[in-house]
């Protein structure tokens, strides 16, 4: 348990340091403002991974348009997503 906490802390610290270095590099030649113009397509949206992924994408402010596709025509995913504004 202690090893997992230490590993998690080390990984999160490494990600923070890398993100800070990337933001310093990216501001040199690019604008710092971002726009949310992401279009996301979830293939296999009725599956065990696709359904929660679709719900998370629907809740994300960075996703403008979400398209869900699956071989089977189950209306459950569309019903779940229709309840989220």
Q: In 3D, which of 68, 36, 72, 64 has the Cα closest to residue 52?
A: 68
Rg (C-alpha) for the chain, rounded Å, is 18
What separation, in Å, do the N-terminal and C-terminal C-alpha atoms of the chain show? Answer: 39
What pLDDT does 1 receive?
45
16-67: pLDDT as tens digits: 666 666 555 555 555 566 665 789 999 998 888 988 999 999 999 889 999 9
The answer for residues whose C-beta is within 8 angstroms of residue 57's C-beta and 6 or more apart is 40, 42, 63, 66
What pLDDT does 41 receive?
93
The predicted model gives 5-25 an average pLDDT of 57
The Cα–Cα gap between 60 and 54 comes to 10
What pLDDT does 75 receive?
78
């Amino acid at each position: 348990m202690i090893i997992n906490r230490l590993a998690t802390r080390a990984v999160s610290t490494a990600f923070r340091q890398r993100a800070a270095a990337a933001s310093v590099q990216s501001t040199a030649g690019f604008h710092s403002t971002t726009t949310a113009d992401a279009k996301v397509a979830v293939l296999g949206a009725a599956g065990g991974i696709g359904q929660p992924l679709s719900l998370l994408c629907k809740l994300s402010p960075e996703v403008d348009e979400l398209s869900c596709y699956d071989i089977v025509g189950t209306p459950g995913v569309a019903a779940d997503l229709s309840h989220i504004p």
